[in-house]
Amino acid sequence: MENLVNALVSGLISGSLYATMALGLTIIYGVSRVFNFGHGVIAVIGAYITWYLLSVFGVPFLPATLLSLAFMASFGWLVYRFTMSPLLKKPNWEFSTVLFMLGAGILLENVVLQVFGPRVKSIPVLVDGALKVGFIQINWHEVALMGIVLVVIAALSLFFKYTRTGQAMRAVAQSIPGAQVVGINIEQIFGLTFALAFTVTGFSGILLGTKYYLNPHVGWEWMVKGFVIVTFGGLGSTSGAVVAALVLGLVEAVATLYFGAIWVWPIWFVLFLIVLLLRPQGILGGRT
Amino acid sequence: MKHVNWKFALAVLVLVFILLYPWLGASSYTKHLFILFFIWSIVAANWNLMMGYAGINSLGNIGFMAIGGYTAGILAKSLGVPPFLTIPIAGIVTSAVVTLALGLPALRLSGIYIALLTLIFADTLPSLLTQTREITGGAMGLHEIPPFYPGMDKTGAYYICFVFFLVVLFIIYRIVHSPTGMAFVALRDSENFAYCLGVNKFRERLKVFALSSLLTGAAGGMYVHALGDISPTTLGIEPFLLTIAMIELGGVGTFLGPILGAAVIVFGNEFLRLAGTLRLTLLGALICTIILFYPGGVIQLFHTIEHRVERLLNRKTPTT
């Protein structure tokens, strides 16, 4: 019982980290219908830049994160402007963007490997110490992470609901011709969407880097988890992604407790298959 | 009609060269490269059949090959089944597993879901292999798998793989030019038009799924018998990327493209060994560059040159 409760708590924590991880994917897909197969390495780059600023230049955590996020935002815009934008104008863009981002992901992963080396890095935790409630034990750091994740999700949903840019993004997601009719600049919105998604993804990389380890290849594992999550929650649905991430985080924790970590992947795959067979639009997704 | 003959002659010339190559002072190493080329071009051609012709955005074909390879390897090594049986069995097992576990669910879905499902399928296989360590050898893989016949040398393997290569390419050629192949091209170019002609999309795509996984699985069987070992590294990112690069470089949706691509990549990869750890960086950059700037691949380059030459010849003939 104690083990189970502790496992559930840690599942909730990793689930909330996966949620931020998956948000970047689902934002890009929802607005532009591009499925980012280089997603993992984007998170890794965000985390590495923060790590570099922290440990080599001794910049404090907050400015280091902000600098790294500023870089990610401009990187996202550049990626859209110079690669995605021309590709989206060609026929068969759906799969050519997939292959392009795959190639770019591997390219960037190996650039990270060349620049930072293969050794495992980790970003220092935000706060030390542990919180004990009865037999449940949580690190303060993990409590802080969950708080940050909640703030990020709340901020994003407010952004989509109330700002003009956020509303424009939702309009484009619903219908591109419709958005054009009311005078929305599609190119600009797509560019901003990539910038936003890369920023969120880079931030999720930083958070994951403080809880888990960091190396140039870990992005693939994060990304494939992100894929299952966004499909589970419904492609393009942000609330679906959050719910799915929490569910899968819990499933992962319970599976690790009872069957061992090696079974996590097969179980994720089976869940993925079941969702695709029974409800391909995902648990909360409205459309396919 | 003139240029068709010219191309045909070139193809025959290349095939004759490949046929005679072991007598033209081939080293064991270059024969090994040719064997790799035969097998990988089959994998790439089948992948292209799914991706380029049928429009099934599969990313798991390396997984199909691994299933075939492991099936043949285990049958031959643990049960002593002779290779002329293991290879067809490998193909059939792969086709059955892949069609049931992936084809039926995936083909009901569209576009990106197939890519996701197949990628995650291929990603799950390594952890299954570690789980079944007693049979599959886990992370170490299978070693000393019996060759095609006892005492086989590289030349023997070379010719067996060459024959297999020709047979499979012939099958793919026939499919591409059969009503099924035409149905795919129709589906790819205009789905509604194809429906109006009475094309059953689900059935046609399921056929290609089954056939292409059958041939890819058999190629996996050829691979283990020709090279003697297989391990989970086959499922790693590098073979995956190399095969994608073959298809993209050669030209997606063309018959010859993936074969040309496989030739360039298999032999080029050996030069890239000099680049060491930079190799994957270069491969990634290559894929990005082709997709962004030259989506037709080498085949398109050939066509452009051919048109130029033809125009040049046509311009000259009336004047002289």
Nearest to B135 by CA among B86, B64, B66, B78: B78
Q: Tell me the average pLDDT across B262-277.
A: 82
- Residue pair B114/B106 in contact (Cβ under 8 Å)? The answer is yes
For residue A175, what are its two tokens? Answer: 């219908």
pLDDT surpasses 70 at A71: yes
pLDDT surpasses 90 at A80: yes
User: Of the candidates A107, A224, A277, which has its C-beta nearest B281's C-beta?
Assistant: A107
Which residues from A are below 8 Å from B when comparing CB atoms?
29, 35, 83, 86-87, 90, 94-96, 98-100, 102-111, 113-114, 220, 224, 227-228, 231, 235, 262-263, 265-266, 268-269, 272-273, 276-277, 280, 288
* 3-state secondary structure (DSSP) of residue B59: coil
Question: What pLDDT, on the 0 to 100 scale, is given for residue B320?
Answer: 47
The mean of the pLDDT values for chain B is 85
Per-residue pLDDT band for B3 (boundaries 50, 70, 90) equals low
Higher pLDDT, B280 or B46: B46
Which residues have C-beta within 8 Å of that of residue A120, sequence separation ≥ 6?
A213, A214, A215
Per-residue pLDDT band for A286 (boundaries 50, 70, 90) equals low
User: Of the candidates A99, A224, A280, which has its C-beta nearest B244's C-beta?
Assistant: A99
What pLDDT digit, counting tens, does each position of B136-194 carry?
Answer: 877 788 888 888 888 788 888 899 999 999 999 999 999 888 888 888 878 777 878 88
pLDDT surpasses 60 at A288: no
How far is it, in rounded angstroms, from Cα A118 to Cα A115?
A: 9
pLDDT surpasses 90 at A45: yes
Which residues have C-beta within 8 Å of that of residue B271, sequence separation ≥ 6?
none
Mind telling me how many Å the CA of B229 is from chain A's nearest CA? 24
Question: What pLDDT, on the 0 to 100 scale, is given for residue A42?
Answer: 93
Per-residue pLDDT band for A287 (boundaries 50, 70, 90) equals very low
What ranges in B228-273 are assigned the alpha helix state H? 237-250, 257-272
Helix axes B61-78, B28-48, angle to 10 degrees: 130
Residue B281 with chain A: CB contacts under 8 Å? 106-107, 110-111, 114
pLDDT surpasses 60 at A170: yes
What pLDDT digit, counting tens, does each position of B47-85 carry?
Answer: 999 888 888 888 889 999 999 999 999 999 888 888 888
Asked if A102's CB is within 8 angstroms of B278's CB, the reply is: no
User: Of the candidates B106, B113, B127, which has its C-beta nearest A262's C-beta?
Assistant: B127
Q: Which residue of B has its CA nearest to A264?
A: B127
- Residue pair B299/B260 in contact (Cβ under 8 Å)? The answer is yes
Residue B114 with chain A: CB contacts under 8 Å? none
Mind telling me how many Å the CA of B311 is from chain A's nearest CA? 28
The domain limits of chain A are 2-226
User: Of the candidates A104, A111, A277, which has its C-beta nearest B288's C-beta?
Assistant: A104
Q: Cβ–Cβ contacts within 10 Å for residue B205, how many?
A: 22
User: Of the candidates B59, B127, B241, which has its C-beta nearest A106's C-beta?
Assistant: B241
Q: Which residue of A has its CA nearest to B100?
A: A273
In percent, how much of chain B has pLDDT > 70? 97
How far is it, in rounded angstroms, from Cα B242 to Cα B283?
A: 8
How far is it, in rounded angstroms, from Cα B37 to Cα B225?
A: 15
How far is it, in rounded angstroms, from Cα B124 to Cα B120?
A: 6
Q: Which helix (H) or strand (E) holds A171?
A: helix A164-174
Mind telling me how many Å the CA of B191 is from chain A's nearest CA? 13
The domain limits of chain B are 31-234, 236-307
What pLDDT digit, counting tens, does each position of B307-318 carry?
Answer: 888 888 887 665
Which residues have C-beta within 8 Å of that of residue B219, sequence separation ≥ 6?
B39, B42, B43, B46, B65, B68, B164, B168
Query: In angstroms, how far apart are the furthest CA atoms of chain A?
Result: 60
How far is it, in rounded angstroms, from Cα B106 to Cα B230?
A: 27
Mind telling me how many Å the CA of B154 is from chain A's nearest CA? 34
What pLDDT digit, counting tens, does each position of A241-285 carry?
Answer: 899 999 999 998 988 888 887 778 778 888 888 887 787 776 665
Per-residue pLDDT band for B4 (boundaries 50, 70, 90) equals low
Question: What pLDDT, on the 0 to 100 scale, is given for residue B79?
Answer: 87
pTM assigned to the model: 0.85
